[in-house]
Amino acid sequence: MKQLMALFPYNVLLIIVGAVELAKWLLYLLHKSTIQVFNHRARANVKMDLDWGQKFGLMPRRLPKKIRHKSVLFHCASMGEVTATIGLIREILKQHPEHYVVVTTNTLTGKHQLQRRLSDEMGKRVFHTYLPIDLPWMMSALLRQVKPVVTLIMEVELWPNLIRKCRAKKIPVVVVNARMTDKTKRGYQRFSWLSGQMIKSLSKVLARNQDDFDRYVELGLPESRIEIVGNLKFDIEVPASELSQITRKEYNVENRLVFIAGSTHLDEEEVVISTYVKLKKSFPELLLVIAPRHPERFQQVLEYLLVQDVKIAQLSLDESVTDKIDVLLVDKMGELNRLYGAADVAFVGGSIAEKGGHNPLEASAYAKPVVMGPHVYNNSEVCSELVEAGGLVIANSEPEFTQIMTGWLSNKEAREAVGKAGLNAILSHAEMTATITTVVYNIIND
């Protein structure tokens, strides 16, 4: 009863938030049927789709009945969590061919990332649905349809009603790649009337490091239910060594030095272009590849590039990268990972802009040297380990950024050594998904 009373104001707040989200979705449907028929840019800028109604129980989840009592329910907040989860999903399907996987996300980009990363074979056993608003009847309906053998929550997306309903149905809840910052911990402590029972209901927390372990202990979870397994983001599929050369040939950049700026945000393109212009004087064969993080910014970045003194090719238009092209704009989703393979040097965005820095491991997996700005708090552990290994350099200013890039572009052996150091850091974390799968299934079978 005490927990239900604590959840009452939370549920009321969610009803209000849900009503706002529902209104946005209905407005999206109106645009889809009217304005967007005539406005291509409006279509490109939407962050919803028809299935968004699954959040409110208004659209079918399209989950086959055969998955009931045979599925693992994964919750991934968005694109980054989905990317980190793919290897673990692959390992679960490999070790347990009798099981299926249902992935829930909060965002359309998360859904699209899942669809892009699944092989045709995996797609037969992996299904997607949006996570409903965390209201008790919504979560009950989701669990009733899926009937999972376990619920895995990636990183830090803890939802009180989801966890409470899992506990009521005796479904173990495991937090994988558990991340708990000081700020998040303080928030949970401030609202302990809501979070206390939720934390204690977790079956297992697979923490990234000792700091995350300690913070969960401070929140009241017994040490026996916490295990340090390392950062799952390091356990990624390493591309075949020949793939880089194949991609360079495909994009006609075999005779170019390629500087890729991946997952860029507002104001980062300005720094990247400024640096590129300076570098171009010393390295005339240098090609800049820019991949904005969000598709709704593709047009904005294109308009910015058009007023610069550079010649542009757009990936979405299949424009050729001739010797005269200065900048290739990656204005298509799902292309960045492969393009890292074509690079000689890489900048990973969200780190000059104060967005916490995106994951540099996709570039490191191709043995590419990576530079980032100072704001890497969202991937602090990954970045710290790469810096320590020698595979990543942090630039704290634009002149420092230019200096690092100049050194790498002028010395092939130096940049290759940095790239190999990053790749070796990834390889040192091999078999992590197998370890996590074993722990999870020990809980299921307990």
C-beta separation of 347 from 392 below 8 A? no
C-beta separation of 65 from 44 below 8 A? no
Per cent of the chain over pLDDT 70 is 96
Looking at the predicted structure, is the pLDDT value of residue 106 above 60?
yes
- Candidate from 8-17, 199-208, 347-356 with smallest mean pLDDT: 8-17
Residue 303 known to be catalytic: no
Is pLDDT larger for residue 412 or for residue 378?
Answer: 412
> What average pLDDT does this structure show over 176-187?
92
Looking at the predicted structure, is the pLDDT value of residue 384 above 50?
yes
User: What does pTM read for this prediction?
Assistant: 0.77
pLDDT at 44: 46
User: Residue 181 and residue 168: Cα distance in Å, rounded?
Assistant: 28
Question: Which contiguous run of DSSP H or E holds residue 417?
Answer: helix 412-427
pLDDT at 48: 84
Confidence of residue 37 (pLDDT cuts 50, 70, 90): very low
pLDDT at 219: 95
Confidence of residue 5 (pLDDT cuts 50, 70, 90): low
Question: Which contiguous run of DSSP H or E holds residue 344?
Answer: none
Q: What is the mean pLDDT of the chain?
A: 92
Looking at the predicted structure, is the pLDDT value of residue 315 above 80?
yes
pLDDT at 38: 46
Beta carbons within 10 angstroms of residue 432's beta carbon: 21
Confidence of residue 6 (pLDDT cuts 50, 70, 90): low
pLDDT tens digits, residue range 108-140? Answer: 989 999 998 888 889 999 999 999 999 999 999
Q: Report the chain's C-alpha Rg in angstroms.
A: 23
pLDDT at 2: 56
Provide the strand spans (E) within 155-306.
Answer: 173-178, 204-207, 226-228, 257-264, 286-292
Angle between helices 79-95 and 432-445 (to 10 degrees): 70
pLDDT at 46: 63
User: Residue 365 and residue 235: Cα distance in Å, rounded?
Assistant: 10
User: Residue 384 and residue 390: Cα distance in Å, rounded?
Assistant: 10
- Residue 431, judged by CB atoms within 10 A of its CB (0-12, 13-18, 19+), counts as exposed
C-beta separation of 174 from 440 below 8 A? yes
Those residues whose C-beta lies under 8 Å from the C-beta of residue 95, and which sit 6 or more positions away, are: 434, 437, 441
pLDDT tens digits, residue range 56-105? Answer: 988 999 899 999 999 999 999 988 899 889 999 999 999 999 999 999 99
The amino acid that residue 27 corresponds to is L
- Candidate from 169-178, 230-239, 272-281, 408-417 with smallest mean pLDDT: 230-239
pLDDT tens digits, residue range 387-444? Answer: 999 999 999 999 999 999 999 999 999 999 999 999 999 998 888 899 999 999 999 9
pLDDT at 354: 93
The amino acid that residue 316 corresponds to is S
pLDDT at 18: 87
Burial 374-394 (b: 16+ CB within 10 A, else e): eebebbebbbebbbebbbbbb
Burial 56-72 (b: 16+ CB within 10 A, else e): beebebebeeebeeebb
> What average pLDDT does this structure show over 185-189?
92
> Which one of the listed residues 81, 268, 269, 385 is annotated catalytic?
81
C-beta separation of 131 from 105 below 8 A? yes
pLDDT tens digits, residue range 10-20? Answer: 888 888 988 88
User: Residue 358 and residue 355: Cα distance in Å, rounded?
Assistant: 8
C-beta separation of 417 from 392 below 8 A? no
